[in-house]
Amino acid sequence: MSERDLIFQHMKTVREITENAIKQIPEEAADIIPAGFNNHIRWNFGHIAYIQEKLVYGLLGEKMNVPEEYEQLFARGTKPSEWTITPPTLHDIAIVLCDQKTRIPKFLEDRLNEKLPTPFTNSGGNTFYTVGETFLFSLYHEAIHMNVIKQMYRQIKKMRAF
């Protein structure tokens, strides 16, 4: 297996974990913000989708293929308490996540080493110079948010009968 194939296989594995998790969470639990958290489960899933799109397409100056309202709802620094539009259902977010799993590898097939027009520095101070670097970071980012989702859902299940 080539390095490129290994990277895309890893993305598929990470995304399947995320897709399985979103299917397990009832819509009624998606908007509960447990004590100690800033956002809810719906925001975290939408944030995963939006940020991966931004790190792969947006930083290259390409058209992002998520619904337009995802930026307003799920970009870094957004909060559900400030939403003025109706968010997508978990099912709708799951469709976007699933679409990314097939669409992004095709888009990046021969572009992993492509330089970004402008280097990207994340909130942790790490600077990335290629789309491959930002793509790989997006998988780490997804895992962080999946851990948050699991912690939140565990806490929600203790509070309510789900």
Which CATH number characterizes residue 63's domain? 1.20.120.450
Give phi and psi for 45, each to the nearest 5: -65, -45
Q: What is the pLDDT of residues 19-47, one digit of tens each?
A: 999 999 999 999 999 999 999 999 999 99
pTM of the predicted model as reported, rounded to 2 decimal places = 0.96
What number is the average pLDDT over the span 104-126? 97
Helix axes 131-159, 90-108, angle to 10 degrees: 160
d(CA 55, CA 122): 10
Q: Which structural domain range is residue 82 located in?
A: 3-159
Whether pLDDT at 162 is above 70: no
Q: How many residues does the chain have?
A: 162
pLDDT of residue 159: 87
